[in-house]
């Protein structure tokens, strides 16, 4: 049976395509979802994509993830830099996590250079736009097939 990967997206990522295109590019989140599902198919992964602007909703999804999924990919948006709640939820979640960002957060404002998610993620992919999600799926497939 195909391994199942949950991809969680945090606040304002629903605005991709029109939001600061100089920073985040022109692809919409729906475009990234289509490519992620295609890449998942190719890799033998069943991918589910979700987005919420609400911290509590993201925490609920992380808490429930291990019931139905084998792997978690998270772009927590601005909650990356603020959310101890998401950090704690991921700590209690017994499946591996990869952190993704479209932009290279290390080249940006100082407050974006700290990530609570990085403390618990296996690794972070940032700076490759929407393609970063496909790279994260490649890594997930490799780790799950080991
Ligand atoms: C982001 C980077 C965050 O700093 C920002 O708040 C976002 C998007 C990224 O994908 O580059 O919303 O997570």
Residues 16-59: tens digit of each pLDDT: 999 999 999 999 999 999 999 999 999 999 999 999 999 999 99
pTM, two decimal places:
0.97
The pLDDT value recorded for residue 1 is 80
For the chain, percent of residues with pLDDT exceeding 90: 98
Extract the runs of DSSP E, i.e. beta strands, from 19-139.
45-51, 71-75, 97-101, 123-126
Q: If phi over 0 gives left and psi between -120 and 50 gives alpha, with beta otherwise, what is residue 127?
A: left
Coil/strand/helix, residue 8: strand
Sheet architecture: strand order including 97-101: 45-51, 3-9, 71-75, 97-101, 123-126
Is 79 annotated in the active site?
no
Cα–Cα dist 72/104, whole Å: 20
**Cα-Cα end-to-end distance for the chain:** 15
Residue of 105, 114, 117 best suited for mutating to test ligand 1, as the one with most atoms within 8 Å of CB: 105
Residue nearest to atom 9 of ligand 1 (CA): 101
From residue 129, how far is each of 37, 38, 43, 78, 103 by CA, in Å? Answer: 16, 17, 20, 16, 6
Is 116 annotated in the active site?
no
Q: Per-residue pLDDT for 146 more than 70? A: no
Q: What atom of ligand 1 comes closest to residue 11's alpha carbon?
A: 12
Tokens 């709640």, located at residue: 85
CATH 3.40.50.9100 corresponds to the domain 3-144: yes
Cβ(118) – ligand 1 distance below 6 Å: no
Where in the chain are the domains?
Answer: 3-144
Confidence of residue 68 (pLDDT cuts 50, 70, 90): very high
Mean pLDDT on 81-110: 97
């Amino acid at each position: 049976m195909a391994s199942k990967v949950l991809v969680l997206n945090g606040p304002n990522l629903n605005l991709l395509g029109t939001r600061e295109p100089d920073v985040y590019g022109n692809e919409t989140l729906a475009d990234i979802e289509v490519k992620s599902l295609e890449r998942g198919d190719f890799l033998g992964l069943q991918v589910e994509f979700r987005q919420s602007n609400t911290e509590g909703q993201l925490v609920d999804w992380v808490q429930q993830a291990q019931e139905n999924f084998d792997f978690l990919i998270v772009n927590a948006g601005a909650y990356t830099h603020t959310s101890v709640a998401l950090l704690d939820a991921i700590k209690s979640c017994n499946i591996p996590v990869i952190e993704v960002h479209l932009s290279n957060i290390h080249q940006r404002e100082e407050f974006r250079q700290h990530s609570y998610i990085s403390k618990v993620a296996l690794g972070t992919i940032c700076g490759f736009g929407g393609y970063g999600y496909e790279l994260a799926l490649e890594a997930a497939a490799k780790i799950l097939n080991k």
